[in-house]
Amino acid sequence: MSINHAALGLLLAVGPLAAQNTPLDAFRGNIAAIHSRNRAAYLSHYLHTPALARVGPDGLRQGYDTFAAGVGTSWPDTLVATQFRIVPVTPDVVYGAYRYRVVDSSGSVRGVSERVFVRTPEGWKIAVTTAFPTPDATPPPLAIVGATLVDGTGAAPVRDAVVVTRNGRIACAGARMSCPVPPDADSVRATGKWIVPGLIDTHVHFSQTGWVDGRPDALDLRARYPYEAVEAELHRRPDRFFRSYLCSGVTSVFDVGGYAWTLDLQTSTGRSTTAPRVVAVGPLLSTIDPWLNLPDQRQFIYMADEATVRQAVRAHKAWGAAAIKVWYIMPPQPPDTARMSALVHAAGDEARKVGLPLIVHATGLWEAKDALRAGARVLVHSVWSAPVDDEFLALARRAGAIYVPTLTVPDGYGQVTARHFLPDRGALRCVDRATRAKAFATDTVALAQAPPQSLRQRLGRIVRSLAPGLGSTRRHDQGALNLKRVFDAGIPVALGTDAGNPLTLHGASVFRELEAMQASGLAPRDVLVAATRNAARALDLDSTGTVTGGAVADLLVLDADPLADIRHLRDIALVIHRGEAYTRRELEYP
């Protein structure tokens, strides 16, 4: 089945047909009526008799009247129909089947639907209809033909390329001559497009909402939004953010700290085509004892002594955590740095013993150096306190560490403090309506209530780190300057947003972060590698992050060249996750 250039934005969406002279015409017209939400047209395709049969997971139901009564009360945001097949049984009876994918407010469901058509004086009518979800079925093979391939390895682009996916992996990627299109593959003609790997966000928190109701330590709104209720809803519906990530082109994420239930997301998303793959660390080990926990659960485990630290590391190994995360925070009073350092080094030592990587939140230069000495494999934030020096670079190089700058997360806190939300209108189309409404409420919420002194001090330190003398097209904060120096020193850099923090919205925040990395002096190609291949290394995912043979089929089809400007990563036409292709339009929220 071939998809022409104009249809790329709809991905096999079926248009209305004027006549229904064949069973296939009737089949496509039935689907077209769903697309147009035309109740009368939809019902006209069915036999208006008590014998009309509908079959699904709950069994057989019969009768037109009860069927018609339920039609039109709700329609999916999107229905994508592919793989139409028609099999004549007799001259007057035809069997048909197709693959469907429905996207609505509750998420995405795919499956197989069948029809039995019978010939009547009024044309072909449906006598039997079925629909069965197939969440574990492998997506059909797909060939994307004619685009420019930017494979995420840093190699030169390949023009007029072909990418073939099969069984959720990339079967072939390269020049047209080296990748023939299989006869059984759906084909997307993508001339004038660009193919890149799916993006990977190495710093997210599913235990946080993207607004202040999930961080009452930033602005305490618990009287209106009880923290226990907020966290219970996040636990119940973590999938509320899955669509936002896919819509934003993010196909894998690293949850680097939260309640223990976030560890379960690794299993539930591991082979899903409707959710980004989640790698998670579970509760953080913290050098201070934050109050932001629940009565019966902790997302912060206080590093009270060495025995507690080592026991916590061993527990994380038993829970299936992907890494050990240390929150290396200096308290406001003069700290006992020797004691804290010993505890962080104990965490690193025990992590090595149990075979888990150590990742560390360390925004101070002294703490970041100490974390690297303790064996940190990933630094999940920029160093903000001072310029990175030669000693830091040598330590990072020796440790083989990956540096995740998270340049834009302070901007969200600044908007909360100023009560002025700065919306990214295009990206907000990937954000669910409830989260959008809260974000826009920032300007008017609790105007008389100041953020806590600790947050104001932290923001003040960042503001004081601003460096003079750079042009308006360049970021000029210490984090940006350090990112450029780290990159120029050959230290691997990876994309991370810190999504879940106030106004660092799940999914949608990647675009400003990517653009901030470019504004720090990185070339678009280097930012793309940071968001794909390097980010995959930070997650220990050796089968994703590039569009190369054998890799997981996570890729984006873009309308513009990301190597000319990283802002073109916003111009998403298709998101392909584990071989399942989505249009950007169907993933957006109304």
Token pair 């109304």: residue: 590
- Tell whether the torsion through CA atoms of 481, 484, 490 and 492 is positive or negative: positive
| Largest interatomic CA distance in the chain | 89
Q: With pLDDT > 90 as the criterion, what percentage of the chain qualifies?
A: 80
pLDDT of residue 73: 86
Q: Does domain 2-133 have CATH number 1.10.357.140?
A: no
pLDDT of residue 105: 65
Across 137-141, 222-226, 334-338, 505-509, least confident range: 334-338
Q: What number is the average pLDDT over the span 234-257?
A: 96
DSSP for 410-446, written as a single string: HHHHHHHHHT-----HHHHTTS-HHHHHHHHGGGTTT
Cβ atoms of residues 210 and 506 within 8 Å: yes
Cβ atoms of residues 297 and 273 within 8 Å: no
Indicate the average pLDDT of the chain: 91
8 or 352, greater pLDDT: 352
Token pair 């682009």: residue: 157
Report residue 179's pLDDT band, with 50, 70 and 90 as the boundaries: very high
pLDDT of residue 457: 64
Query: Residue 399, Cβ neighbours under 10 Å: how many?
Result: 19
pLDDT at 467 over 50: no
Q: What number is the average pLDDT over the span 408-416?
A: 94
pLDDT of residue 548: 97
pLDDT of residue 459: 56
Give the SS3 label for residue 262: helix
Nearest-angstrom CA–CA distance, 382 and 392: 12
Q: What number is the average pLDDT over the span 152-164?
A: 97
Residue 107 DSSP symbol: E
Distances in Å between the Cα of 45 and the Cα atoms of 29, 52, 61 are: 8, 11, 18
Distances in Å between the Cα of 385 and the Cα atoms of 171, 339, 458 are: 46, 21, 10
User: CB-based burial of residue 74 (10 Å sphere; 0-12 exposed, 13-18 middle, 19+ buried)?
Assistant: exposed
- Tell whether the torsion through CA atoms of 545, 548, 552 and 555 is positive or negative: positive
pLDDT of residue 137: 81
Across 102-116, 201-215, 420-434, 466-480, least confident range: 466-480
Report residue 7's pLDDT band, with 50, 70 and 90 as the boundaries: very low
Over its C-alpha atoms, the chain yields an Rg (Å, rounded) of: 26
pLDDT of residue 76: 83
Give the SS3 label for residue 177: helix
Give the SS3 label for residue 156: coil
Residue 490 CB partners (closer than 8 Å, separation 6+): 397
**What token pair was written down for 526?**
């280097």
Nearest-angstrom CA–CA distance, 241 and 244: 5
What does DSSP say about strands 142-149 and 158-166: parallel, antiparallel, or unpaired?
A: antiparallel
Q: Does domain 138-197+548-582 have CATH number 3.30.70.60?
A: no
Nearest-angstrom CA–CA distance, 248 and 256: 20
Cβ atoms of residues 421 and 415 within 8 Å: yes
Distances in Å between the Cα of 305 and the Cα atoms of 295, 316, 345, 358, 371 are: 22, 17, 12, 18, 17
Across 71-80, 294-303, 536-545, 580-589, least confident range: 71-80
Residue 330 CB partners (closer than 8 Å, separation 6+): 287, 337, 340, 364, 367
Report residue 465's pLDDT band, with 50, 70 and 90 as the boundaries: very low
Report residue 458's pLDDT band, with 50, 70 and 90 as the boundaries: low
Domain boundary assignment for the chain: 2-133, 138-197+548-582, 199-544
Q: With pLDDT > 70 as the criterion, what percentage of the chain qualifies?
A: 92
Nearest-angstrom CA–CA distance, 171 and 163: 8
Strand partners, 327: 286, 361
Helices (H), ranges, 95-254:
227-236, 242-247
- Element holding 43 (H helix, E strand): helix 39-43
pLDDT of residue 470: 39
DSSP for 344-384, written as a single string: HHHHHHHHHHHT--EEEE--SHHHHHHHHHTTEEEE-S---
The amino acid at residue 351 is A
**What token pair was written down for 1?**
């089945």
- Tell whether the torsion through CA atoms of 150, 154, 158 and 161 is positive or negative: negative
- pTM equals 0.88
Distances in Å between the Cα of 243 and the Cα atoms of 255, 295, 397, 469, 527 are: 16, 31, 37, 41, 24
Q: What is the CATH number of domain 199-544?
A: 3.20.20.140
Nearest-angstrom CA–CA distance, 149 and 152: 9
Token pair 């007799």: residue: 90
Strand partners, 99: 82, 112
pLDDT at 154 over 80: yes
Residue 48 DSSP symbol: -
Kindly report, residue by residue over 342-371, the tens digit of the pLDDT.
999 999 999 999 999 999 999 999 999 999
